[in-house]
Amino acid sequence: MKKRVLVILFFALLGNTVSVLAQTEPEDIAMTTDEYKDSFYESLKQKGIENYDKAIVSLEKCIKLKPNDAVAYFELGKNYFALKEYQNAQSSFEKATQLDPKNKWFWLGIYDVSYETKNYPLAIETIQKIIPFDEEYKDDLISLYMITNQYDKALSLITEMNDKFGKSEDRERYKLQILSQGKYQNAEISNLIDQIKKNPKEESNYVNLIFLYSKSEETDKALEVIKQLAKEVPNSEWGQVSLFKVYLDANQADKAIKSMNVILSSSKIDSKIKHRTLNEFLIYVNKNPQYAPDLEKAIAYFDNDKEVDVAKEIGKFYHSKNQFENAIKYYEKDLKSNSDTDRETNLLLLEVYMKAKQFEPMTKRAMNMIEVYPSQPQFYYYAGLGNNQLQQFKNAKTVLEMGLDYVVDDIKLEANFNIQLGEAYNGLGDAKKKEEYFLKANELLKNKK
């Protein structure tokens, strides 16, 4: 809540002439009698050193001398407010407004009390009386509407204030809060479309519309707005999203890469759009591998991305294309950048090590993972397979027999364990055991069918 604070100004105006300046702080007004002046200034002195009780006594003397003096009641209200005697404070401020209803400071006193006591209906009523004196207090009214969940009124007033004074950080924050509730989004989409028609060069309206479409998963509509933005505001960072696609389709790689780097480095562009941009470039690089170094640089923009492990996703892409060397590179990059013990990524990496016949790093990583996940049978399997391939048959036998105890309800994995145990015993020269494990594996696979 952006709450107005009463500003206390004090000028010692001497003399017997009363000079009332329009909408000035009441303490700026000179007093007419010495006795009144002495009591009034004594109250200011006592208030200044936080002796509010003594200040109240002095002000009561002032009121006896001048029963219809709004200034004294206003000061009395401020001292009661400081003592947290809110009912007395409100009564004093109300008396001041009755005596001088055209002074906004007196109304602000009531507003302070109503806000402090969370009497928001009174706060709204009071602010509406202050606004004719100073329109900027409409921002306080917006805050009060937000507190009281009057979002329709808040949104209407936000639009009015934005049109008249330009956007503010607080208003935009409130607006996003309101629009997070679906029922207001369609109205705001229509409003933004109208605003774009009226002023096609105003970038913020496009950006807000893109945000709403992205939030509702209407990516195609968001891209259409981006195309329009690129046409109307060519220097816009958001406009580069459309230009990137145009350049990529035209096989103008250098221009596409330049646009992509603007997109990925932008603090304004939505992460979903960034991920989509990178994915399109990845597909392009798969057909044009000479641009792989640019892909490497692009991935660096996502190093701190908590939503998606970009390097892992690229690893999966190459994995699905049977490009195992590239898959290994990106899985290793992901493990290095994030958690080296991530279970899923390690299993994916071990699979591509196996398919790429890189048995030494496979065996080493699998053995390390057994220490981290001692009851995870897949790591024992890869360690056993790797040791067999490296002709370390005794190590393979030991690790496979340990891991087999952890295989539960996975017939295929159990069969594979038995195959590798057969290979281990074969390497150790035990033909009987080899045959035993191969037969067991064969039986498991028959049952699986």
Whether residue 242 is contained in a domain is answered as: no
Q: What dihedral do alpha carbons 345, 347, 353, 359 form, nearest 10°? A: 130
pLDDT tens digits, one per residue of 93-118: 999 999 999 998 999 999 999 999 99
- For residues 6 and 110, membership in a common domain is answered with yes
Q: Are 233 and 203 in contact (CB under 8 A)?
A: yes
Q: How confident is the model at residue 448 (pLDDT cuts 50, 70, 90)?
A: low
pLDDT over 90 (residue 125): yes
Whether residue 27 is contained in a domain is answered as: yes
Among 245-249, 288-292, 395-399, the least confident range: 245-249
- For residues 349 and 403, membership in a common domain is answered with no
Whether residue 267 is contained in a domain is answered as: no
- For residues 332 and 436, membership in a common domain is answered with no
pLDDT of residue 353: 96
Residue with tokens 């997070």: 180
Q: Which domain holds residue 68?
A: 1-117
- For residues 107 and 75, membership in a common domain is answered with yes
pTM for the model stands at 0.51
Taking the C-alpha atoms of residue 313 and residue 345, their distance in angstroms, rounded to an integer, is 10
Whether residue 272 is contained in a domain is answered as: no
pLDDT of residue 9: 32
pLDDT over 70 (residue 6): no
SS3 content of the chain, % helix, strand, coil (to 5): 75, 0, 25
- For residues 439 and 406, membership in a common domain is answered with yes
Whether residue 442 is contained in a domain is answered as: yes
pLDDT of residue 204: 80
**H/E element, 339:** none
pLDDT of residue 25: 54
Q: What is the mean pLDDT of the chain?
A: 84
pLDDT tens digits, one per residue of 228-238: 888 888 778 87
Q: Is 15 exposed, middle or buried (0-12, 13-18, 19+ CB in 10 A)?
A: exposed
For residue 2, give every residue at least 6 positions away whose Cβ sits within 8 Å of its Cβ, in sequence order, or none.
139, 140, 143, 170
The DSSP string of 102-119 is T-HHHHHHHHHHHHHTT-
Whether residue 61 is contained in a domain is answered as: yes
- For residues 394 and 345, membership in a common domain is answered with no
Taking the C-alpha atoms of residue 52 and residue 57, their distance in angstroms, rounded to an integer, is 9
Q: What dihedral do alpha carbons 220, 223, 227, 230 form, nearest 10°? A: 170
pLDDT tens digits, one per residue of 306-318: 667 888 888 888 8
Work out the average pLDDT over 13-28.
39
Q: Which of 98, 117, 136 is the last residue of a domain?
A: 117
* Phi and psi, residue 440, nearest 5°: -65, -40
* Between 2 and 237, the higher pLDDT residue: 237
Domains of the chain: total: 3
pLDDT of residue 234: 78
CA angle 130, 133, 138 (to 5 degrees): 55
CA angle 129, 131, 134 (to 5 degrees): 130
- For residues 370 and 435, membership in a common domain is answered with yes
The domain spanning residue 403 has which CATH number?
A: 1.25.40.10
Q: Which of 117, 145, 179 is the last residue of a domain?
A: 117
Alpha carbon of 268 to those of 93, 229, 238, 428: distances in Å?
Answer: 47, 14, 8, 63
Half-sphere exposure of 203 (CA within 13 A, CB side): 11
pLDDT of residue 26: 54
CA angle 149, 150, 154 (to 5 degrees): 115
* Between 405 and 31, the higher pLDDT residue: 405
pLDDT tens digits, one per residue of 146-164: 999 888 888 889 888 888 8
Pair of tokens at residue 333: 């990059």
Whether residue 281 is contained in a domain is answered as: no
Taking the C-alpha atoms of residue 129 and residue 115, their distance in angstroms, rounded to an integer, is 15
Pair of tokens at residue 108: 């602000």
Q: What per-residue string of b and e applies to 343-352 under the rule 16 or more CB within 10 Å gives b?
A: eebbbbbbbb
Q: How confident is the model at residue 4 (pLDDT cuts 50, 70, 90)?
A: very low
SS3 (DSSP) at 318 = helix
* Phi and psi, residue 93, nearest 5°: -65, -40
- For residues 52 and 12, membership in a common domain is answered with yes
Q: Which of 78, 96, 117 is the last residue of a domain?
A: 117
Whether residue 102 is contained in a domain is answered as: yes
Q: Is 387 exposed, middle or buried (0-12, 13-18, 19+ CB in 10 A)?
A: buried
Of 6, 47, 44, 13, which is closest to residue 28 (Cα–Cα)?
13
The DSSP string of 151-183 is HHHHHHHHHHHHHHH---HHHHHHHHHHHTSGG
pLDDT of residue 309: 80
- For residues 21 and 96, membership in a common domain is answered with yes
- For residues 348 and 367, membership in a common domain is answered with no
Max CA distance (Å), the chain: 122
Q: Is 175 exposed, middle or buried (0-12, 13-18, 19+ CB in 10 A)?
A: buried
- For residues 381 and 417, membership in a common domain is answered with yes
- For residues 32 and 73, membership in a common domain is answered with yes
pLDDT of residue 27: 53
